[in-house]
Structure formats: structure tokens, C-alpha cells
Amino acid sequence: MTPSLLSLLRKVDTPTVCDAIEFAQGKRGFDGFTRGTMLCSAPTEPPVVGFARTAKIAAVHPPTEAPEVIRQRRMAYYEYMAAAPSPAVAVIEDLDFPDCIGAYWGEINTTVHKGFGLSGALTNGVMRDLGDLPAGFPVIAGSVGPSHGFVHVREIDTPVSIFGLTVRPGDLVHADRHGAVVVLAEVIDRLEDALRRLMQTERIVLDAARQPGFDFEAFQQAWAAFEKSRV
């Protein structure tokens, strides 16, 4: 991850990254993205970009383990998040999905994670305290709710599943109001060039369509040039 790639990823939306991955691969069929509609706490803020720090939680039922075990795991979780190399994103699977009730992401937890230096959170679970969450720490979640239930950490640093997307510790994640993608390790070194070329290619049609007098003939010409340049 070069500084210039990180800067660019923070300026483009997740659909653009999804298309750029295919551009870098030279083929269609990339499927490392979430399915369904997710919610974003800060849809007008820049996207969440970072390497995944993962965990699993549950909240519907009280934990069955000893309180000391739960407390130790909770502290181990926060130590794990605090030690994340930048840029990092918290990716948390709620094991109660699709019947999640416990909002792990509220004002306190988001503020703590932002203080640790993480760029945001991705979860299939619940968020709350909308309007009180800190700026610069978007949460992309499965739902909004008022309660924390019996929320507790079950696993740390393990593969997780978020809306059909498998995320492993260390995966590069890009997420915004559209959902999330995992950037394949094999394309990271080609991604910046792919993003720039993709955006340049899209300008062929966009610039033409915005010109006065744009008509079907102009569209045909622009589209032909566009098709020659895209995957």
C-alpha cells in the first residue's frame, strides 16, 4: 500500500474500486463484495479504507462463559485493535445475524476505535447513537437499533462473513454506503494504475454526454471508443 494508492482509495467510491479490480484483472467476474443493502452512518464522508482487524460478537443471549473469561477476551480484543497497523478497519461479524439486536457500534465504542487509529467499521450487526458518532469514523452496518443487548466478543482475529463477503485478518477492505469489497492481494500493486485508467475511460462517455447537442450519433462514437478501452 503506497501513500498515493491510499490517498486515491480515500477519494473514490466502492463501486469504482470494484470495477477497477476487474480492470486490473483484465476480466469480468470479481465477486469479493457484499450482497444486499447496508447502512452507512456517514454517507457523505470519505470511504473506509484499511487492512482488516476481525472479530465475532453475539448479543441475543447472555454469555455462558465465566465473567472473567468474557472480561479477559474483551480486553484482548481492545488490545488487538489498538495494535492495528495503519490503515486499519474493524470488521465484526455478529453471529446473531439476521436477527441481530445488540448495537456494538455506538458513541463510546466508535470513539474508542477512532482513538486507536482505525478508519472505520464494517459489520453485519447493529449500530446506534446516530448523530453522536465521531466524525471521520464511518460505520457500515446491517441495521440500526437502540439496545446493546448482551453483546460480548466471541472470537478475535478470525475469518468473518459480512453480507456474503468473507473477510480474513489482514485483507484490504474498501467500504462506503454501497457496501464493501476485499481488494485481492494479487492486484494491489496494479490497482492505482487501474483506477486512474478506469476513470479516464469513463470520461469518454461522461464528457460526451455532458456536451451541448449530445445526440445518438455522438453517443455511438463515444460508446465505441469506450468499449475499446474497457474490460
**Tens of pLDDT along 63-74?**
999 999 999 999
SS3 of residue 40 by DSSP: strand
State the average pLDDT over residues 14-27: 94
User: How long a stretch of residues is the chain?
Assistant: 231
What is the CA angle 223-224-226, rounded to 5? 60
Q: What is the pLDDT of residues 43-53, one digit of tens each?
A: 999 999 999 99
Share of the chain above pLDDT 70, in %: 99
pTM: 0.94
pLDDT score at 88 = 98
pLDDT score at 231 = 54
State the average pLDDT over residues 11-31: 94
Superfamily of domain 33-183: Ribonuclease E inhibitor RraA/RraA-like (3.50.30.40)
Q: Which helix (H) or strand (E) holds 218?
A: helix 216-229
In the block, which residue shows the cell 460480548?
Answer: 152
pLDDT grade for 139, boundaries at 50, 70 and 90: very high
Q: Domains of the chain: which residue ranges?
A: 1-30+187-231, 33-183
CA gap 148, 24 in Å, rounded: 42
pLDDT score at 230 = 66
pLDDT score at 227 = 87
CB 54 within 8 A of CB 217: no
Q: What is the pLDDT of residues 164-218, one digit of tens each?
A: 999 999 999 999 999 999 999 999 999 999 999 999 999 999 999 999 999 999 9
Share of the chain above pLDDT 90, in %: 95
Q: Is 13 annotated as a binding residue?
A: no
pLDDT reading at 1 higher than 90: no
Q: Is 28 annotated as a binding residue?
A: no
CB 158 within 8 A of CB 53: no
